[in-house]
Copies of this chain bind each other. A is one copy, B any other.
Amino acid sequence: MELLKERIKIDGESFDGGILNVDSFISHQLDPILMKNIAEEFVKRFEDLNVNKIITIETSGIAPSILLGLALELPVVFVKKIEPKNLDEFYSTQVYSFTKDKTYDIYVNKQYLSEGDNVIFIDDFLANGNAALGVRYLVKEAGANLLGMGFIIEKSFQEGRDRLLNHGIRVESLVRIDWISENSIEFVK
């Protein structure tokens, strides 16, 4: 997605250690028109699938997901990171975050993810794939079918993509980044 590449080049901030800051248009301040373009690109990427629900994870996955949900007229479920009161009504699992070096729990209410649901998962970043694999676990627990995963930005120098592919998951990343260092971003050719 060339538009997104250009925006990352102009407004993304890159640092040694593979760090990319897109707070000015994706992760803290949102550009709704770019987000609509992102949603339209996801529509194209997944147009061969018969999806009935979109699943995402709070927080940064919500904006692209609601616009995709609107385009496809499908409900969006966002997986929560805050422990709910009635735990027995939820599927849950643990996710390890490398960035924060800690484990957190994710939750989805059993009412909103069911056997026979055909879902795609949408998120802003694919890096090591831990959050995505956590959501895959919840989808399997529910007996639903995971038809694919879509990411706005993939850090292709991390292992997430391969880990998802090894689980047989279809991965659609709108932009794939080969390398990030101080003031330098190389995209996958």
Contacts and interface: CB of A to CB of B under 8 A. Distances in A.
A142 B2 CA distance: 34
A35 B75 CA distance: 11
A80 interface: yes
Copies in the complex: 2
Contact of A59 (B23, B31, B58): B58
Interface residues of A, number: 30
Interface string A70-112: 1001111110100000000000000000000000000011011
Given A59-B58, A73-B33, A80 B111 contact: no
Interface stretch (A61-69, A145-153, A161-169): A61-69
Task: Give me the 3 closest cross-chain CB pairs, A-B, nearest first.
Answer: A32-B69, A32-B70, A30-B76
